[in-house]
Structure 1
Protein backbone atom coordinates (compact mmCIF):
# COMPACT_ATOMS: atom_id res chain seq x y z
CA UNK A 1 0.00 0.00 0.00
CA UNK A 2 1.26 3.44 -0.91
CA UNK A 3 -1.23 6.24 -0.28
CA UNK A 4 -0.91 9.73 -1.72
CA UNK A 5 -3.13 12.07 0.30
CA UNK A 6 -4.00 15.71 -0.29
CA UNK A 7 -6.36 18.31 1.14
CA UNK A 8 -7.21 21.89 0.17
CA UNK A 9 -10.42 22.38 2.17
CA UNK A 10 -8.77 24.73 4.70
CA UNK A 11 -6.12 27.43 4.16
CA UNK A 12 -3.54 24.63 4.29
CA UNK A 13 -2.25 23.10 1.06
CA UNK A 14 -1.20 19.73 2.39
CA UNK A 15 0.17 16.57 0.74
CA UNK A 16 1.57 13.37 2.24
CA UNK A 17 2.79 9.94 1.17
CA UNK A 18 1.96 7.04 3.51
CA UNK A 19 3.02 3.39 3.21
CA UNK A 20 0.33 1.95 5.48
CA UNK A 21 2.48 2.11 8.60
CA UNK A 22 3.66 5.70 8.64
CA UNK A 23 4.15 8.93 6.73
CA UNK A 24 7.14 8.81 4.38
CA UNK A 25 7.10 12.49 3.42
CA UNK A 26 4.75 15.45 3.79
CA UNK A 27 4.36 19.06 2.72
CA UNK A 28 2.22 21.62 4.57
CA UNK A 29 1.86 25.21 3.39
CA UNK A 30 -0.74 27.72 4.56
CA UNK A 31 -2.00 30.11 1.89
CA UNK A 32 -5.75 30.39 1.36
CA UNK A 33 -5.36 32.11 -2.03
CA UNK A 34 -2.82 29.84 -3.77
CA UNK A 35 -4.19 26.30 -3.55
CA UNK A 36 -4.04 25.77 -7.32
CA UNK A 37 -0.55 27.18 -7.61
CA UNK A 38 0.96 25.24 -4.71
CA UNK A 39 -0.67 21.80 -4.85
CA UNK A 40 1.04 20.01 -7.75
CA UNK A 41 4.53 21.27 -6.85
CA UNK A 42 3.86 19.92 -3.35
CA UNK A 43 2.92 16.52 -4.80
CA UNK A 44 6.18 16.43 -6.77
CA UNK A 45 8.17 17.55 -3.73
CA UNK A 46 6.68 14.86 -1.50
CA UNK A 47 7.30 12.07 -4.00
CA UNK A 48 10.88 13.25 -4.51
CA UNK A 49 11.54 13.49 -0.77
CA UNK A 50 10.27 9.93 -0.30
CA UNK A 51 12.24 8.60 -3.27
CA UNK A 52 9.08 7.23 -4.86
CA UNK A 53 7.36 7.74 -8.18
CA UNK A 54 3.72 8.30 -9.00
CA UNK A 55 3.71 4.90 -10.70
CA UNK A 56 4.23 3.28 -7.27
CA UNK A 57 1.18 4.90 -5.67
CA UNK A 58 -1.66 2.43 -5.11
CA UNK A 59 -4.40 4.72 -3.76
CA UNK A 60 -5.29 8.40 -3.64
CA UNK A 61 -6.98 9.99 -0.63
CA UNK A 62 -8.50 13.47 -0.76
CA UNK A 63 -10.20 15.65 1.82
CA UNK A 64 -13.84 16.24 0.87
CA UNK A 65 -14.39 19.23 3.16
CA UNK A 66 -16.49 20.91 4.24
CA UNK A 67 -14.65 23.94 2.94
CA UNK A 68 -14.97 27.02 0.76
CA UNK A 69 -15.94 26.16 -2.81
CA UNK A 70 -12.87 27.48 -4.64
CA UNK A 71 -10.22 25.92 -2.43
CA UNK A 72 -11.98 22.61 -1.90
CA UNK A 73 -12.45 21.86 -5.60
CA UNK A 74 -8.70 22.26 -6.30
CA UNK A 75 -7.84 19.17 -4.27
CA UNK A 76 -10.79 17.15 -5.53
CA UNK A 77 -10.13 17.98 -9.19
CA UNK A 78 -6.43 17.20 -8.83
CA UNK A 79 -7.12 13.85 -7.17
CA UNK A 80 -9.67 12.97 -9.85
CA UNK A 81 -7.22 13.87 -12.63
CA UNK A 82 -4.36 11.88 -11.11
CA UNK A 83 -6.64 8.91 -10.49
CA UNK A 84 -7.93 8.94 -14.06
CA UNK A 85 -4.44 9.31 -15.53
CA UNK A 86 -2.95 6.45 -13.48
CA UNK A 87 -6.03 4.24 -13.13
CA UNK A 88 -5.97 4.56 -9.33
CA UNK A 89 -8.83 4.38 -6.84
CA UNK A 90 -9.65 7.78 -5.32
CA UNK A 91 -11.00 7.76 -1.77
CA UNK A 92 -12.67 10.66 0.02
CA UNK A 93 -12.53 11.49 3.71
CA UNK A 94 -14.18 14.31 5.63
CA UNK A 95 -11.56 16.98 6.29
CA UNK A 96 -12.84 17.48 9.84
CA UNK A 97 -12.31 13.75 10.47
CA UNK A 98 -8.67 14.18 9.48
CA UNK A 99 -8.24 17.06 11.91
CA UNK A 100 -9.95 15.01 14.62
CA UNK A 101 -7.65 12.04 13.96
CA UNK A 102 -4.59 14.31 14.30
CA UNK A 103 -5.63 15.31 17.83
CA UNK A 104 -5.28 11.79 19.20
CA UNK A 105 -7.94 12.62 21.80
CA UNK A 106 -9.80 9.83 23.55
CA UNK A 107 -12.50 12.08 25.04
CA UNK A 108 -15.45 13.95 23.47
CA UNK A 109 -14.50 17.15 21.64
CA UNK A 110 -15.48 19.39 18.73
CA UNK A 111 -13.64 20.43 15.57
CA UNK A 112 -14.40 23.79 13.95
CA UNK A 113 -12.86 25.43 10.88
CA UNK A 114 -13.44 28.89 9.44
CA UNK A 115 -16.37 28.95 7.01
CA UNK A 116 -16.19 32.73 6.48
CA UNK A 117 -19.38 34.85 6.57
CA UNK A 118 -18.97 34.73 10.39
CA UNK A 119 -19.75 30.99 10.35
CA UNK A 120 -17.87 27.77 11.11
CA UNK A 121 -17.82 24.28 9.68
CA UNK A 122 -17.99 21.96 12.66
CA UNK A 123 -18.50 18.41 13.88
CA UNK A 124 -18.61 16.72 17.28
CA UNK A 125 -16.60 13.60 18.14
CA UNK A 126 -16.68 10.92 20.83
CA UNK A 127 -12.95 10.38 20.27
CA UNK A 128 -10.37 10.96 17.53
CA UNK A 129 -11.93 8.32 15.27
CA UNK A 130 -15.67 8.57 15.98
CA UNK A 131 -17.81 11.43 14.65
CA UNK A 132 -21.20 11.67 16.36
CA UNK A 133 -22.63 14.89 14.91
CA UNK A 134 -22.09 16.91 11.75
CA UNK A 135 -20.47 18.11 9.66
CA UNK A 136 -22.56 21.26 9.55
CA UNK A 137 -22.19 24.99 8.97
CA UNK A 138 -23.55 27.43 11.57
CA UNK A 139 -22.95 30.73 13.29
CA UNK A 140 -20.87 30.07 16.41
CA UNK A 141 -23.40 31.70 18.73
CA UNK A 142 -26.11 29.34 17.46
CA UNK A 143 -24.21 26.22 18.57
CA UNK A 144 -22.56 27.55 21.72
CA UNK A 145 -24.90 25.62 24.02
CA UNK A 146 -24.37 22.36 22.09
CA UNK A 147 -20.57 22.51 22.36
CA UNK A 148 -20.33 24.04 25.84
CA UNK A 149 -17.71 22.40 28.02
CA UNK A 150 -16.11 20.42 25.19
CA UNK A 151 -12.49 20.79 24.12
CA UNK A 152 -12.52 22.65 20.79
CA UNK A 153 -9.98 22.18 18.02
CA UNK A 154 -9.36 24.10 14.80
CA UNK A 155 -9.02 27.61 13.42
CA UNK A 156 -12.77 28.20 13.69
CA UNK A 157 -12.70 27.58 17.42
CA UNK A 158 -9.78 29.98 17.83
CA UNK A 159 -11.68 32.69 15.95
CA UNK A 160 -14.72 32.50 18.24
CA UNK A 161 -13.57 31.82 21.82
CA UNK A 162 -16.85 33.17 23.22
CA UNK A 163 -18.72 30.27 21.59
CA UNK A 164 -16.03 27.61 22.05
CA UNK A 165 -15.02 27.81 25.69
CA UNK A 166 -12.58 24.90 25.68
CA UNK A 167 -10.27 26.00 22.85
CA UNK A 168 -7.13 23.84 22.49
CA UNK A 169 -4.60 26.09 20.77
CA UNK A 170 -1.97 23.37 21.16
CA UNK A 171 -3.80 21.05 18.75
CA UNK A 172 -4.05 21.30 14.91
CA UNK A 173 -5.80 24.32 13.39
CA UNK A 174 -5.92 23.17 9.77
CA UNK A 175 -6.02 19.95 7.78
CA UNK A 176 -3.01 17.65 7.58
CA UNK A 177 -2.63 15.21 4.71
CA UNK A 178 -0.43 13.06 6.94
CA UNK A 179 -3.29 12.65 9.41
CA UNK A 180 -5.77 12.08 6.57
CA UNK A 181 -3.56 9.34 5.13
CA UNK A 182 -3.07 7.77 8.55
CA UNK A 183 -6.82 7.60 9.11
CA UNK A 184 -7.38 6.20 5.62
CA UNK A 185 -4.71 3.53 6.12
CA UNK A 186 -6.28 2.52 9.44
CA UNK A 187 -9.76 2.24 7.90
CA UNK A 188 -8.53 0.31 4.85
CA UNK A 189 -6.56 -2.11 7.02
CA UNK A 190 -9.70 -2.73 9.07
CA UNK A 191 -11.73 -3.41 5.93
CA UNK A 192 -13.91 -0.37 6.49
CA UNK A 193 -15.18 1.36 3.34
CA UNK A 194 -14.05 4.90 2.58
CA UNK A 195 -16.27 7.53 1.03
CA UNK A 196 -16.38 8.53 -2.64
CA UNK A 197 -14.53 11.78 -3.44
CA UNK A 198 -17.68 13.92 -3.35
CA UNK A 199 -17.33 17.51 -2.04
CA UNK A 200 -19.13 18.62 1.11
CA UNK A 201 -19.90 22.24 0.26
CA UNK A 202 -22.83 22.55 2.73
CA UNK A 203 -23.86 25.87 1.18
CA UNK A 204 -23.82 27.75 -2.11
CA UNK A 205 -20.52 29.24 -3.38
CA UNK A 206 -19.70 32.87 -2.62
CA UNK A 207 -19.31 33.71 -6.31
CA UNK A 208 -22.61 34.17 -8.11
CA UNK A 209 -23.84 35.46 -11.45
CA UNK A 210 -24.84 39.12 -10.93
CA UNK A 211 -28.51 39.89 -11.19
CA UNK A 212 -29.86 42.50 -13.60
CA UNK A 213 -26.76 42.78 -15.79
CA UNK A 214 -27.10 43.89 -19.42
CA UNK A 215 -26.14 41.42 -22.13
CA UNK A 216 -23.74 42.72 -24.76
CA UNK A 217 -24.77 41.69 -28.30
CA UNK A 218 -23.62 42.61 -31.75
CA UNK A 219 -25.91 44.97 -33.71
Structure 2
Protein backbone atom coordinates (compact mmCIF):
# COMPACT_ATOMS: atom_id res chain seq x y z
CA UNK A 1 0.00 0.00 0.00
CA UNK A 2 1.79 3.11 -1.28
CA UNK A 3 1.17 6.72 -0.35
CA UNK A 4 2.65 9.02 -2.99
CA UNK A 5 2.95 12.80 -3.07
CA UNK A 6 4.98 15.53 -4.73
CA UNK A 7 5.41 19.26 -4.12
CA UNK A 8 8.15 20.03 -6.68
CA UNK A 9 5.76 21.72 -9.13
CA UNK A 10 2.86 24.13 -8.49
CA UNK A 11 0.67 21.05 -7.94
CA UNK A 12 0.06 19.73 -4.44
CA UNK A 13 -0.74 16.16 -5.37
CA UNK A 14 -1.21 12.91 -3.41
CA UNK A 15 -2.42 9.41 -4.22
CA UNK A 16 -2.87 5.95 -2.71
CA UNK A 17 -1.87 2.89 -4.75
CA UNK A 18 -2.55 -0.66 -3.55
CA UNK A 19 0.12 -2.28 -5.72
CA UNK A 20 -2.33 -2.97 -8.52
CA UNK A 21 -4.20 0.25 -9.11
CA UNK A 22 -4.67 3.79 -7.84
CA UNK A 23 -7.34 3.80 -5.15
CA UNK A 24 -7.55 7.56 -4.61
CA UNK A 25 -5.91 10.73 -5.87
CA UNK A 26 -6.22 14.46 -5.30
CA UNK A 27 -4.42 17.40 -6.89
CA UNK A 28 -4.61 21.16 -6.33
CA UNK A 29 -2.52 23.72 -8.19
CA UNK A 30 -1.30 26.55 -5.96
CA UNK A 31 2.39 27.42 -6.09
CA UNK A 32 2.30 29.33 -2.80
CA UNK A 33 0.47 26.92 -0.48
CA UNK A 34 2.36 23.61 -0.52
CA UNK A 35 2.91 23.64 3.24
CA UNK A 36 -0.70 24.50 3.95
CA UNK A 37 -2.34 22.05 1.56
CA UNK A 38 -0.20 18.90 1.54
CA UNK A 39 -1.41 17.26 4.76
CA UNK A 40 -5.11 17.94 4.07
CA UNK A 41 -4.59 16.46 0.60
CA UNK A 42 -2.99 13.36 2.13
CA UNK A 43 -5.91 13.06 4.57
CA UNK A 44 -8.32 13.28 1.65
CA UNK A 45 -6.78 10.45 -0.36
CA UNK A 46 -6.42 8.20 2.70
CA UNK A 47 -10.09 8.75 3.51
CA UNK A 48 -11.20 8.14 -0.07
CA UNK A 49 -9.10 4.97 -0.20
CA UNK A 50 -10.71 3.78 3.04
CA UNK A 51 -7.45 3.32 4.94
CA UNK A 52 -5.59 4.94 7.80
CA UNK A 53 -2.00 6.11 7.67
CA UNK A 54 -0.74 3.08 9.62
CA UNK A 55 -1.89 0.81 6.77
CA UNK A 56 0.63 2.39 4.39
CA UNK A 57 3.67 0.19 3.70
CA UNK A 58 5.74 2.61 1.63
CA UNK A 59 6.03 6.32 0.88
CA UNK A 60 6.75 7.53 -2.65
CA UNK A 61 7.93 11.13 -2.95
CA UNK A 62 8.94 13.31 -5.86
CA UNK A 63 12.48 14.55 -5.27
CA UNK A 64 12.47 17.28 -7.90
CA UNK A 65 14.05 19.10 -9.49
CA UNK A 66 11.96 21.95 -8.18
CA UNK A 67 12.07 25.28 -6.37
CA UNK A 68 13.52 25.08 -2.87
CA UNK A 69 10.53 26.17 -0.80
CA UNK A 70 7.94 23.89 -2.35
CA UNK A 71 10.17 20.87 -2.82
CA UNK A 72 11.30 20.64 0.79
CA UNK A 73 7.68 20.47 2.04
CA UNK A 74 7.13 17.09 0.40
CA UNK A 75 10.52 15.68 1.31
CA UNK A 76 10.33 16.66 4.98
CA UNK A 77 6.81 15.21 5.19
CA UNK A 78 7.94 11.98 3.54
CA UNK A 79 10.86 11.65 5.96
CA UNK A 80 8.57 12.26 8.93
CA UNK A 81 6.04 9.66 7.80
CA UNK A 82 8.73 7.12 7.03
CA UNK A 83 10.37 7.59 10.40
CA UNK A 84 7.12 7.55 12.38
CA UNK A 85 5.77 4.45 10.63
CA UNK A 86 9.08 2.64 10.22
CA UNK A 87 8.50 2.15 6.49
CA UNK A 88 10.69 2.82 3.43
CA UNK A 89 10.64 6.11 1.54
CA UNK A 90 11.18 5.82 -2.22
CA UNK A 91 12.46 8.84 -4.14
CA UNK A 92 11.40 9.34 -7.76
CA UNK A 93 12.49 12.13 -10.08
CA UNK A 94 9.56 14.49 -10.56
CA UNK A 95 10.23 14.69 -14.30
CA UNK A 96 9.93 10.89 -14.50
CA UNK A 97 6.42 11.10 -13.06
CA UNK A 98 5.37 13.67 -15.64
CA UNK A 99 6.91 11.57 -18.44
CA UNK A 100 5.00 8.52 -17.23
CA UNK A 101 1.76 10.51 -17.06
CA UNK A 102 2.31 11.69 -20.63
CA UNK A 103 2.83 8.11 -21.75
CA UNK A 104 -0.45 7.04 -20.18
CA UNK A 105 -2.21 9.55 -22.41
CA UNK A 106 -0.97 7.53 -25.39
CA UNK A 107 0.26 10.50 -27.37
CA UNK A 108 4.03 9.98 -27.54
CA UNK A 109 5.95 8.00 -30.12
CA UNK A 110 9.74 8.04 -29.84
CA UNK A 111 12.04 10.41 -27.95
CA UNK A 112 10.56 13.38 -26.13
CA UNK A 113 11.35 16.05 -23.53
CA UNK A 114 9.84 16.96 -20.16
CA UNK A 115 10.31 20.55 -19.00
CA UNK A 116 8.91 22.30 -15.93
CA UNK A 117 9.04 25.97 -15.00
CA UNK A 118 12.12 26.70 -12.88
CA UNK A 119 11.33 30.43 -12.65
CA UNK A 120 14.09 33.01 -13.26
CA UNK A 121 13.36 32.44 -16.98
CA UNK A 122 14.76 28.89 -16.72
CA UNK A 123 13.40 25.36 -17.01
CA UNK A 124 14.10 22.04 -15.35
CA UNK A 125 14.26 19.44 -18.11
CA UNK A 126 15.36 15.98 -19.25
CA UNK A 127 15.15 13.79 -22.35
CA UNK A 128 13.36 10.44 -22.59
CA UNK A 129 13.35 7.62 -25.12
CA UNK A 130 9.97 6.43 -23.82
CA UNK A 131 7.72 7.25 -20.85
CA UNK A 132 9.69 4.95 -18.53
CA UNK A 133 13.25 5.67 -19.68
CA UNK A 134 15.13 8.89 -19.03
CA UNK A 135 18.31 9.32 -21.09
CA UNK A 136 19.75 12.49 -19.56
CA UNK A 137 20.26 13.76 -16.04
CA UNK A 138 17.80 16.44 -14.92
CA UNK A 139 19.19 19.90 -15.65
CA UNK A 140 18.29 23.55 -15.22
CA UNK A 141 18.92 25.89 -18.13
CA UNK A 142 17.70 28.96 -19.93
CA UNK A 143 15.50 27.77 -22.80
CA UNK A 144 17.55 29.58 -25.44
CA UNK A 145 20.65 27.67 -24.35
CA UNK A 146 19.09 24.28 -25.12
CA UNK A 147 17.11 25.22 -28.22
CA UNK A 148 19.18 23.04 -30.53
CA UNK A 149 18.82 20.02 -28.24
CA UNK A 150 15.03 20.15 -27.94
CA UNK A 151 13.90 21.64 -31.25
CA UNK A 152 11.30 19.51 -32.96
CA UNK A 153 11.03 16.94 -30.17
CA UNK A 154 7.65 16.36 -28.58
CA UNK A 155 7.67 18.12 -25.21
CA UNK A 156 5.37 18.12 -22.18
CA UNK A 157 5.29 20.08 -18.96
CA UNK A 158 4.61 23.68 -17.98
CA UNK A 159 8.12 24.73 -19.01
CA UNK A 160 7.61 23.49 -22.55
CA UNK A 161 4.25 25.25 -22.85
CA UNK A 162 5.74 28.47 -21.43
CA UNK A 163 8.46 28.63 -24.10
CA UNK A 164 6.88 27.28 -27.32
CA UNK A 165 9.36 29.21 -29.46
CA UNK A 166 12.09 26.88 -28.09
CA UNK A 167 10.07 23.74 -27.41
CA UNK A 168 8.57 23.69 -30.87
CA UNK A 169 7.03 20.27 -30.29
CA UNK A 170 5.27 21.32 -27.07
CA UNK A 171 2.03 19.46 -26.38
CA UNK A 172 -0.29 21.97 -24.72
CA UNK A 173 -2.80 19.21 -23.92
CA UNK A 174 -0.19 17.06 -22.15
CA UNK A 175 0.45 17.04 -18.39
CA UNK A 176 1.93 20.31 -17.18
CA UNK A 177 2.44 19.50 -13.50
CA UNK A 178 3.02 16.40 -11.44
CA UNK A 179 0.35 13.76 -10.87
CA UNK A 180 0.82 11.64 -7.75
CA UNK A 181 -1.33 8.95 -9.36
CA UNK A 182 1.23 8.60 -12.17
CA UNK A 183 4.09 8.82 -9.68
CA UNK A 184 2.59 6.02 -7.58
CA UNK A 185 1.89 3.81 -10.60
CA UNK A 186 5.45 4.25 -11.85
CA UNK A 187 6.84 3.42 -8.41
CA UNK A 188 4.64 0.31 -8.18
CA UNK A 189 6.04 -0.89 -11.53
CA UNK A 190 9.60 -0.26 -10.36
CA UNK A 191 9.02 -2.09 -7.09
CA UNK A 192 7.57 -5.07 -8.93
CA UNK A 193 10.57 -5.24 -11.26
CA UNK A 194 13.16 -4.70 -8.51
CA UNK A 195 14.37 -1.43 -10.01
CA UNK A 196 16.39 1.05 -7.98
CA UNK A 197 15.01 4.26 -6.53
CA UNK A 198 16.59 7.60 -5.81
CA UNK A 199 17.30 8.50 -2.19
CA UNK A 200 14.60 10.80 -0.75
CA UNK A 201 16.88 13.83 -1.02
CA UNK A 202 16.16 17.05 -2.93
CA UNK A 203 17.32 17.66 -6.49
CA UNK A 204 17.60 21.43 -6.20
CA UNK A 205 20.14 21.87 -9.05
CA UNK A 206 20.78 25.45 -7.91
CA UNK A 207 21.03 27.50 -4.74
CA UNK A 208 17.84 28.77 -3.04
CA UNK A 209 16.63 32.33 -3.60
CA UNK A 210 16.88 33.15 0.11
CA UNK A 211 20.47 33.55 1.26
CA UNK A 212 22.28 34.98 4.25
CA UNK A 213 23.26 38.56 3.38
CA UNK A 214 26.99 39.17 3.00
CA UNK A 215 28.73 41.67 5.24
CA UNK A 216 25.90 41.99 7.75
CA UNK A 217 26.62 43.89 10.95
CA UNK A 218 27.39 41.70 13.93
CA UNK A 219 25.76 42.74 17.21
CA UNK A 220 27.78 41.90 20.31
CA UNK A 221 26.09 41.30 23.67
CA UNK A 222 26.60 44.06 26.22
Aligned residue pair count: 218
- Flag the 1:71–1:216 CA change in 2: closer, same or farther, 3 A: same
Instruction: Choose which of 165, 169, 172 in structure 2 pairs with 1:169.
Output: 172
1:162 Cα deviation after fit: 1.1
Counterpart-to-counterpart distance in 2, 1:133 and 1:39: 30
Counterpart-to-counterpart distance in 2, 1:27 and 1:7: 11
Counterpart-to-counterpart distance in 1, 2:34 and 2:218: 32
Tell me whether 1:208 sits opposite 2:207 in the alignment. no
Counterpart-to-counterpart distance in 2, 1:67 and 1:148: 23
**Structure 1 residue matching 2:212: 3-state secondary structure:** coil
Structure 2 unaligned runs (5+)?
A: none
**Structure 2 residue matching 1:25: 3-state secondary structure:** strand
Counterpart-to-counterpart distance in 2, 1:171 and 1:109: 12
1:217 Cα deviation after fit: 3.4
TM-score, scaled relative to structure 1: 0.97
Instruction: Choose which of 163, 170, 175 in structure 2 pairs with 1:160.
Output: 163
Tell me whether 1:30 sits opposite 2:29 in the alignment. yes
TM-score, scaled relative to structure 2: 0.96
Counterpart-to-counterpart distance in 2, 1:218 and 1:81: 37
1:106 Cα deviation after fit: 4.0
Instruction: Choose which of 151, 156, 165 in structure 1 pairs with 2:154.
Output: 151
Counterpart-to-counterpart distance in 2, 1:50 and 1:110: 33
**Structure 1 residue matching 2:73: 3-state secondary structure:** helix
1:89 Cα deviation after fit: 0.3
1:197 Cα deviation after fit: 0.6
2:145 aligns with 142
Write the deviation string for residues 19-77 of structure 1: whole angstroms up to 9, x where unpaired. 11111001101111110100011111110011111111111000000000111010000
1:43 aligns with 42
**Structure 2 residue matching 1:71: 3-state secondary structure:** helix
1:218 Cα deviation after fit: 3.6
Tell me whether 1:65 sits opposite 2:61 in the alignment. no
1:80 aligns with 79
2:20 aligns with 21
1:113-152 equivalences under 5 Å are: 113-152=116-155
1:216 Cα deviation after fit: 3.0
Counterpart-to-counterpart distance in 2, 1:192 and 1:157: 29
Structure 1 unaligned runs (5+)?
A: none
**Alpha carbons 1:113, 1:122 under 8 Å: kept:** yes
2:190 aligns with 187
When the two chains are superposed, the root-mean-square deviation of aligned CA atoms in Å is: 0.9
Counterpart-to-counterpart distance in 2, 1:118 and 1:66: 15
